[in-house]
Amino acid sequence: MREVVVELGERSYPVLVGYGARRGLAAVVPHGAHKAAVVSQAGVGVVVESGVDQATFLVGDGEAAKSMSTVEDLCRGFSRFGLTRADLVVGVGGGVVTDVAGFAAAVYHRGVAVAHVPTTLLGQVDAAIGGKTGVNLPEGKNLVGAFWQPVAVICDTEVLASLPPREYRSGLGEMAKYAFLGVAGLPQLDLDDAVARCVECKARFVAGDECETADMNAAEGDGMPKGGRALLNYGHTLGHALETVGHYDLRHGEAVAIGLAFAARLARCLGRVPDEVVAAHDAVLAAYDLPSRLPPGAEPAELVLVMGRDKKATDGGLTFVLDGPDGLEVVRHVPEEAVLTTLAEIA
Q: Which is it for the CA torsion 253, 257, 262, 267, positive or negative?
A: positive
Q: How far apart are CA 295 and CA 262, in angstroms?
A: 13
CATH architecture, domain 2-163: 3-Layer(aba) Sandwich (3.40)
pLDDT of residue 139: 81
Question: Which residues partner with 18 through β-bridges?
Answer: 156
- Which pLDDT belongs to residue 246? 78
* pLDDT 10s digits, 72-105: 999 999 999 999 999 999 999 999 999 999 999 9
Whether 141 and 116 have beta carbons less than 8 Å apart is answered as: no
Chain-centroid distance, C-alpha 21: 21
Distance, in Å, from the CA atom of 158 to the CA atom of 119, rounded to the nearest integer, reads 9
242 near 295, Cβ under 8 Å? yes
The β-bridge partners of 5 are 14
**DSSP category for residue 347:** -
Phi-psi sector, 333: left (phi>0), alpha (psi -120 to 50), beta: left
How far apart (Å, rounded) are the C-alpha atoms in residues 307 and 238? 7
- Give dist(CA 187, CA 123) in Å, integer: 18
Helix (H) or strand (E) holding 170: helix 165-178
Q: Helices 252-269 and 165-178: crossing angle, nearest 10°?
A: 30
Contact 281, 180 (CB under 8 A): yes
SS3 category, 289: coil
Domain 166-345, second-level architecture: Up-down Bundle (1.20)
Tell which residue, 141, 120, 6, has the closest CA to residue 67: 141
Domain regions of the chain by residue span: 2-163, 166-345
Q: DSSP string spanning 248-286?
A: S---HHHHHHHHHHHHHHHHHHTTSS-HHHHHHHHHHHH
Q: What is the DSSP string of 306-319?
A: HHTT-TT-TTSS--
Question: What pLDDT does 233 receive?
Answer: 94
Q: Which residues of the chain have pLDDT under 50?
A: 216-222
Partnered with residue 27 across adjacent β-strands are none
pLDDT in the model for residue 316: 62
CB-based burial, 286-323: b 16+ in 10 Å, e otherwise: eebebbbebbeebebeebbebbbebbbbeeeebbbbbb
Position 224 scores a pLDDT of: 52
How much is the pLDDT for 219? 40
pTM of the model: 0.89
Q: What gap in Å lies between CA 105 and CA 89, rounded to an integer?
A: 6
d(CA 117, CA 129): 10
Q: Is 5 left (phi over 0), alpha (psi -120 to 50) or beta?
A: beta
pLDDT computed for residue 244 by the predictor? 87
Euclidean distance between CA atoms 50 and 267, whole angstroms: 47
